[in-house]
Amino acid sequence: MNKRWKPNVTVAAVIARDFDGIQKFLLVEEETRDGLKLNNPAGHLDPGESPCQGCIRETLEETAFHFTPTALVGVYLSRFERLQPDQAEPLDITYLRFTFCGTLGEHMDGQALDEGIVRTVWLSADEIRTSVPRHRSPLLLTSLEDYLAGKRFPLDLITTDPSVLL
């Protein structure tokens, strides 16, 4: 049987802030099947939204912070396989991820975080590099390194046709 390949589209934010001369990055700690994992604020693109809109929404839902994308850090394609109980074939998922950087805005005190998100944390680049076993995705470190290397692309590199927007 011929199956059409449909990668999952996700969006993520690399958010940096200076803490007494030390640059730290906003991450989420979330409960997964594999225990507590670290990730960028990230999630699936919803129907009717552009990648920028999805990143704004996901950042707010996962961190309770408003976020304004200012640049595209990169577009990443990755594959994930996981053995499933009582299944002969592993779960095989491909992700197409748009990672943005930008400006962190107001914190919405009292806003509940998405299901599974335990808390937000600010970590330095070195702390992130030494916590690889706790990363939910290898794209966390790849996005960070691209950001630190100065990779920034204009937002108008991504065009969302009006037919997508609801």
Ordered by start, the domain boundaries in the chain are 15-154
Q: Are 84 and 91 in contact (CB under 8 A)?
A: yes
Please write the tens of the pLDDT for every residue from 72-114.
999 999 998 877 788 888 878 899 999 999 999 999 999 999 9
CATH number of 15-154: 3.90.79.10
pTM of the model: 0.92
pLDDT at 4 over 90: no
CA nearest neighbour of 58 among 78, 75, 43, 79 = 43
> At 41, which helix (H) or strand (E)?
none
